[in-house]
Amino acid sequence: MELLDQKVQVAPTAALVLLQARELFEEGITKDYLSNIDFSAVQGMSDKLNDMPGDFAQVVRYRKQFIRYLADSYLPESEPVQIVILGAGLDPLGLQLLDKHGGDICQVFEVDAAHLAEKEILYRKIAPDIKNLHLVHCDITDPQHLLECLVVAGYDRDIPTIIVFEGIIHYITQEKFYDIMRRFRTRNRTNLVLMDYALPLDDLPASTAVTYRRMLQMLESAFKVRFFLHSRLNVFGLIDRLGGDVSTIDSLQDVEFKLNGRNVKYYDAGDGFLEMISFYL
């Protein structure tokens, strides 16, 4: 069977993000998953990122860890739910949630336009018997096609769904965000969105804004992308336009405290530039 007896080579950017959060996958089925990925090509870049101002690696770890924290908080529901992970990348979140909450989840759909071939090889190797985890090859920035692809894969619009939108809003316009999310609106707001967003530098204290400006400049240069930043009020406005209801909102200080029971890095308001939000749609 192809590549099953050797580590899988993956796209550098996808491997880099996963490597930054590697400590979250040190046990269980996801440890087996990561042990089959070759990170050698991105180890040097990872080391450079760890030396960047703003501690990019820690922010990525907190972001991923808190998505799991929120999912754990909302599962189990009164009836099994669907999970849709948009821009899933190489993160084995779907596999991890099924392993932990299998009885509370009827189906998981991991959606991306890249990395799925490699991911399928890994999933078939370490979890060959899982039948309700679907890898959907689709560009999430084409919303109408996205919904069509999900339905073909078995997505049921009548079943309550948790939509994971992690690390995506930074790369798309507000109109694109609205166009994607409106496809998941329900009459009774039975769907739940879990996501993060980065604050504008003007919303941060001057002492930290300088650090984060340098970090953003380095990331934009390294990845050849533009980062879109959003104030909390702006995100509330987008959710209101969608007809959604905010459930939780957490600054990076809140995130650190909820995950660790204390703050060791982010003490004051504005110390962290990332916020996490969940809302019903």
pLDDT at 210: 83
**Residues of the chain with confidence (pLDDT) below 50:** 1-4
What does CATH list as the number for 53-280? 3.40.50.150
pLDDT in tens, 60-74: 899 999 999 999 999
- Which pLDDT score is estimated for 211? 81
CB 216 within 8 A of CB 223: no
Residue 2: its pLDDT value, please? 42
Q: What is the pLDDT of residue 1?
A: 34
40 to 247, 272, 273: CA distances (angstroms): 40, 30, 30
Using a pLDDT cut of 90, give the percent of the chain over it: 56
Q: Where are the domains of the chain?
A: 53-280
Tell me what pLDDT residue 151 has.
96
- 92-130 in b/e burial notation, b at 16+ Cβ within 10 A? bbbbbbbebbeebbbbbbbbbebbbebbebbbebbbeeb
Mean pLDDT (the chain) is 88
pTM for the structure as a whole: 0.92
Phi, psi of 4 (to 5 degrees): -75, -15
